[in-house]
Structure 1
Amino acid sequence: MSARAPLVIVGASYAGTQLAATARELGFDAPIILLGEEGHAPYQRPPLSKGLLTGKTSVDALALRGPGFFADQAIDLQLGRRAKALDAAARTLTLDDDSTLGYGWLALATGARCRALPVPGADLDGIYNLRTLDDALRISDALAHTTRACVIGGGFIGLEVASALAARGASVTVVESQPRLLARSFPPLMSDYLAGAHRQRGVEVVLGRGVRALSGDAGRIRHVELDDGSRIACDMVVLGIGVQPNIELALEAGIACDNGILTDALGRTSAPQVMAVGDVANTLLPAVPGCPLRLRLESIQAANDGARAAASALAGSPQPFEGVPWFWSDQHKLKLQMAGLPMPGDQAVVRGEMQSDRFSLFYLRGGVLVAAHSVNRPAEHMLSRKLIAAGARIDPQQLQDESVDLKSTRSSP
């Protein structure tokens, strides 16, 4: 192994682990130190709000890499270590035990944390966040004593948790402050479909209502009090009101931040030899008409792809990732798969019957396919990613007509 100063990676989830693995794969031969704040070895997060809560996925099945991977790749995985200060000029990192690490390159994969709900009663027992494995285990244990649950927040995590709790036999209410579900990600047509899908499966969905307070007795949650004076009885609350990026380490070191740590397409920040990858990174995107110049994408795909791009820069063969963003969500027996970045004003075309729970919603911008949302149609999702990447122009009537083979419609702008 080289005697060069090490690559130190702060954060051992998807992005940090992928960065270490790909750097080795591409021939990066300096020492690699991977710091994880949790005591668990790197694990998969999507099953936390899906299979783990329903009991379909075991903790043993969550490992991101096999037990011998890190040693085999000469990656020094250190768990239970938290970085508390960064000196970018001296290229040193101070840990929570006041020890210091020098680095040749530093990668911040610090992720994000759950937003707090700033209302009275937020400290009662029976109120949970879901971000980590320990969070999921606490919720799963509490379900044995839960009959009525309230999920505050109608985003992806909130809706996945709601479906998992309902599958475990709880009576579930979702409270969303916006007038529709997933308002930042979905057009009204998809929002309305999802609200109906949850209601049909026994989940009560309350829209356009804020939470005024959480109340209880004997120190335990009993009611969620809404801003219209109504109350929802419950013995468990799960908060799903979004996350905020963990930028403090970078911000205090003088690194440019704005809704995350600002990076170029290779993960490089404003500080020399410092990268940022994963949920904490606000990354420069390929130029696409009608889309933002940069975005902080909270997805496994974005974390892995961003880490691979950063690793290519470390290995001396920089290759920015320019693929189509994609994401998935499992809710009840619905597999939602999303590709591309739809924007207000895009033409929406439905293929299939929405009430059948098997359809795709395609988005055209200037006649070009730019995004697609599919429900229980994985083959169309995979094809849509290729069509979007190709900048395909497809006649809306062909998109809508299920007798037309979409593979035959591919064309360039």
Structure 2
Amino acid sequence: MTGPNRPSDPVVIIGGGLAGAKTAEQLRENGYSGGVVLIAAERVAPYERPPLSKEFLAGSKSLPEFTVHDEAWYADNDVDLRLGVRAESVDTASRTVRLSDGGAVAYSALVLATGSTSVHPPIDGADAAGVHYLRTVDEASALLETFGEGKRLAVIGGGWIGLEVAAAARRRDTEVTVVEAADQPLRAALGPEIGAAFADLHRAHGVDLRTGRKVSSITVADGRATGLELDDGTTVTADAVLIAVGARAETGLAEAAGLTLADGGVATDSRLRTSAADVYAAGDIAAAMHPILRTRVRTEHWANALNQPAVVAENIVGRDTEYTRMPYFFTDQYDLGMEYRGLAEGYRRVVTRGDVSGLEFLAFWLDEAGTVLAGMNVNIWDAGDDIAALVQARRPVDAAALADPEVPLSSLI
């Protein structure tokens, strides 16, 4: 059994993002005094990913401002930070991780926080110069070079990353075209009703948003991307192309080690324990049983990477703790700020209160019984706690009262 007095072998954390760094931090915060090794493939200290498509591209934050801890913190807290090193394999029988530098490290407990990688769809021309993805700070820096007056950017995908990049690029006077296969952007996340509000927002800011269209190929001249050819025969001229069609959890290590996978990630119980003894998963890859929702939940959201490490650390030191937080994410696009709580899968209707066209509203996703599955506040910042409580309550609510701004949300909880 893993605990604070486990003998010699350290806790090994694989992953150089927020989840990995917070796991190391939370182990120390929870009194774990044994060895901690953090394996990070990038050559910079672990940092948060959301600012890459938000403040970093907007020029309002630099890497040190969203680095979780500087390298001195790891030294001060006796965390063995190994930058530029990849975990090549995990042997759960011998409790050993083999590394890209030829070394190996034994573990008393192992935390997989390997995150996600951008999906690379099989599009002709995708290997040309000038084709970008966005997952790392180096990729964000390269993408930023494509912004500016007179420059043209084509974005494949109208999800969160695609739209946030479009907003950042427009703020720098870049001409932007977004191509989305669905009839509205963000349809998979928010449904067509609220997706339409985001479509209107981007078009109002000069984005050429083309919905219901697929990309047939990326056009190339002299080895460099020059735009897109769409399935209706039309073309988009661009100096650079961003492919933003989703992310895929980095489950290769877990799969090769024989861990149980589920929902595109690594299956865990509500305590974030995987199918292997003393092996945990946190962040994007964790497909965790949720004790309130009573289903397995895997979301590639910042909040999981921020909050799941505390549960992992508490279980490693011998406290019995479940991860009970509801899914949460946020976005900033132009003058729109939004927070979303819950999980809208299987919703039957959307109820709004406030001014949708004026981008100051609340939205609620309800099931057939009228239970609030998820809620969103757009440019309204005093409703978050009540929305969280409504989602957590898991009981039917009168839809008319939910839509009425005169009815306090607190009275419906």
Superposition deviation, residue 94 in structure 1: 0.7
CA offsets 1:64-101 (integer angstroms, 9 cap, x no match): 12453222322111111101111111111110122111
Quick check: 1:186 aligned with 2:190? yes
2:41 to 27, 34, 37: 37
Match of 2:146 in 1: 142
Superposition deviation, residue 42 in structure 1: 1.3
Superposition deviation, residue 220 in structure 1: 1.3
Match of 1:54 in 2: 58
Indicate if the aligned counterparts of 1:178 and 1:208 stay in contact, CA closer than 8 A. yes
- After alignment, is 312-321 or 54-63 more displaced? 54-63
Relative to the length of structure 1, the TM-score reads 0.94
Partners of 1:278 and 1:189 lie apart in 2 by 29
Indicate if the aligned counterparts of 2:146 and 2:239 stay in contact, CA closer than 8 A. no
Partners of 1:15 and 1:203 lie apart in 2 by 34
**1:372 maps to amino acid:** G
Superposition deviation, residue 134 in structure 1: 0.7
Return 5+ residue gaps in structure 2 as ranges.
none
Superposition deviation, residue 287 in structure 1: 4.2
Quick check: 1:324 aligned with 2:326? yes
CA offsets 1:164-192 (integer angstroms, 9 cap, x no match): 11111111011111222122211211011
Superposition deviation, residue 29 in structure 1: 2.0
Partners of 1:251 and 1:370 lie apart in 2 by 32
Match of 2:164 in 1: 160
Quick check: 1:378 aligned with 2:381? yes
Quick check: 1:9 aligned with 2:13? yes
SS of the residue 2:376 aligns to: strand
Indicate if the aligned counterparts of 1:175 and 1:209 stay in contact, CA closer than 8 A. yes
Provide the alpha-carbon RMSD of the alignment: 1.8
Quick check: 1:274 aligned with 2:276? no
1:116 to 95, 111, 120: 120
Partners of 1:50 and 1:384 lie apart in 2 by 24
2:240 to 232, 236, 242: 236
Quick check: 1:213 aligned with 2:217? yes
Match of 1:357 in 2: 359
Indicate if the aligned counterparts of 1:265 and 1:309 stay in contact, CA closer than 8 A. no
CA offsets 1:118-162 (integer angstroms, 9 cap, x no match): 122111111100001111111112325861111101111111011
After TM superposition, the structure 1 = structure 2 runs for residues 264-413 of structure 1, keeping only pairs within 5 Å, are 264-288=269-293, 293-365=295-367, 366-391=369-394, 393-407=396-410, 409-411=411-413
SS of the residue 1:68 aligns to: helix
CA offsets 1:7-58 (integer angstroms, 9 cap, x no match): 0001021111111111211122220001110011111211110111111212
Partners of 2:63 and 2:306 lie apart in 1 by 22
Identity, in percent, stands at 34
Partners of 1:67 and 1:85 lie apart in 2 by 25
- After alignment, is 221-230 or 351-360 more displaced? 221-230
Indicate if the aligned counterparts of 1:121 and 1:213 stay in contact, CA closer than 8 A. yes
Indicate if the aligned counterparts of 1:392 and 1:410 stay in contact, CA closer than 8 A. no
Superposition deviation, residue 105 in structure 1: 0.8
Partners of 1:59 and 1:66 lie apart in 2 by 11
Q: How many residues end up aligned between the 2 structures? A: 407
Indicate if the aligned counterparts of 2:225 and 2:239 stay in contact, CA closer than 8 A. yes
CA offsets 1:370-396 (integer angstroms, 9 cap, x no match): 311221112112321123223465432
Partners of 1:345 and 1:299 lie apart in 2 by 20
Change (3 A) 1:199 1:144: closer
**1:389 maps to amino acid:** Q
- After alignment, is 380-389 or 94-103 more displaced? 380-389
Partners of 1:71 and 1:126 lie apart in 2 by 39
SS of the residue 1:378 aligns to: coil
- After alignment, is 36-45 or 2-11 more displaced? 2-11
Indicate if the aligned counterparts of 1:15 and 1:304 stay in contact, CA closer than 8 A. yes
Partners of 1:206 and 1:381 lie apart in 2 by 32
Partners of 1:81 and 1:146 lie apart in 2 by 40
Indicate if the aligned counterparts of 2:355 and 2:361 stay in contact, CA closer than 8 A. yes
**1:155 maps to amino acid:** G
Partners of 1:59 and 1:268 lie apart in 2 by 32
Partners of 1:370 and 1:244 lie apart in 2 by 25
**1:61 maps to amino acid:** E
CA offsets 1:194-246 (integer angstroms, 9 cap, x no match): 11111111111111211111112122111201112111000011111111111
**1:215 maps to amino acid:** T
Change (3 A) 1:198 1:271: same
Indicate if the aligned counterparts of 1:393 and 1:410 stay in contact, CA closer than 8 A. no
Return 5+ residue gaps in structure 1 as ranges.
none
**1:385 maps to amino acid:** A
**1:315 maps to amino acid:** V
